[in-house]
Amino acid sequence: MPEGLFSNIKPLSEEERLQRECDCLNAQPGNLKGGHCDKCNDKGVVYTVKEGRCVGRQCDCLVQRENAARIERSGLSEVIKRYTFESYKTDELWQAKIKDAAQKFIQQEGAWFYIGGQSGCGKTHICTAIANHFLNQNQTVKYMLWRDEAVRILANGTNDDRRQELISPLKNVDVLYIDDFFKHRNGDRPSEAETNLAFEILNYRYINRMTTIISSELTVRDIINIDEALGGRIYDMAYPSYLLSVAKDVKKNYRLRSEK
């Protein structure tokens, strides 16, 4: 080897050696889901030199990944970008009142929001906007389309273990959003089993003062006529500010309007 071939190469300082170690660790790929992050290379950890050591810290992308995962678990991923407070129309006074009530509701803790009445008037839109707010506050949210989920739970009959496995997340989630509560295609009354299921879920959340959002084509008076104890609990938790009813009027059905 010729003398002096490496004479111009300086040895790495300790700081440089540590930085190289961090660079190598940062370059290693990870397997986290939810989009690529250049900082951590999808590992969730970024390595930097600190106080004479190569130290790992949580990458900022984990917050966005966890929020995306919460949205996916909530069941609202298909509509949450479209149904926002910003996109909710307030052309009419009744719409402005609904939006105002919803924006006040998100400042509350442990309250219930109930909106019933006219189909197609934006009930699902405003409730989804509320749910999205709580998701962004790092709370767990569960979306329950009543007629689908109720059928699935009741189909288990006397299988108590499976029944509780399905009901427990609805009882215990931070924020429960029930859409189309007690909806039946022919306008039939809910069965006794369905009413008992609703009472089991909502009574638990009533006792524990847990945030609950409900939309329905039925008013609370309709619910009281079906089951006084159930309707009374909804009334108690939502009245007066967050108990809303949109009078039946086909003109308020935005799904039937030609302009979108």
- Domain ranges (residues) in the chain: 14-59, 66-256
Q: Give pLDDT, residue 162.
A: 87
Strand pairing of 175-179 and 53-58? unpaired
Q: Give pLDDT, residue 121.
A: 94
pTM: 0.77
How far, in Å, CA of 183 to CA of 217, rounded? Answer: 7
CB-based contacts of 166: which residues, under 8 Å, 6+ apart?
149, 152, 153, 156
How far, in Å, CA of 40 to CA of 65, rounded? Answer: 13
Q: What is the pLDDT of residues 141-194, one digit of tens each?
A: 999 999 999 999 999 877 788 889 999 999 999 999 999 999 987 778 999 999
Q: Give pLDDT, residue 29.
A: 93
Q: Which ranges of the chain have pLDDT less than 50? A: 1, 258-260
Q: Give pLDDT, residue 79.
A: 87
Q: What DSSP character marks residue 256? A: G
Strand pairing of 212-216 and 175-179? parallel
Q: What 3-state class would DSSP assign to 155?
A: coil
CB-based contacts of 182: which residues, under 8 Å, 6+ apart?
146, 190, 194, 198, 216, 218, 223, 226
Which residues make beta-bridge pairs with 245?
A: 116
User: Does 11 sit behind a cis peptide bond, omega within 30 degrees of 0 on the bond before it?
Assistant: no
Q: Give pLDDT, residue 256.
A: 74
CATH hierarchy code of domain 66-256: 3.40.50.300
Angle at 166 between CA 77 and CA 212, to 5 degrees: 60
Q: Give pLDDT, residue 4.
A: 53
How far, in Å, CA of 57 to CA of 44, rounded? Answer: 8
Structure-block tokens of residue 172: 């215990």
Structure-block tokens of residue 95: 């719409």
Average pLDDT, the chain: 90
Helices (H), 119-214: 123-136, 146-154, 160-172, 192-207
Strand pairing of 45-50 and 53-58? antiparallel
Q: Give pLDDT, residue 260.
A: 45
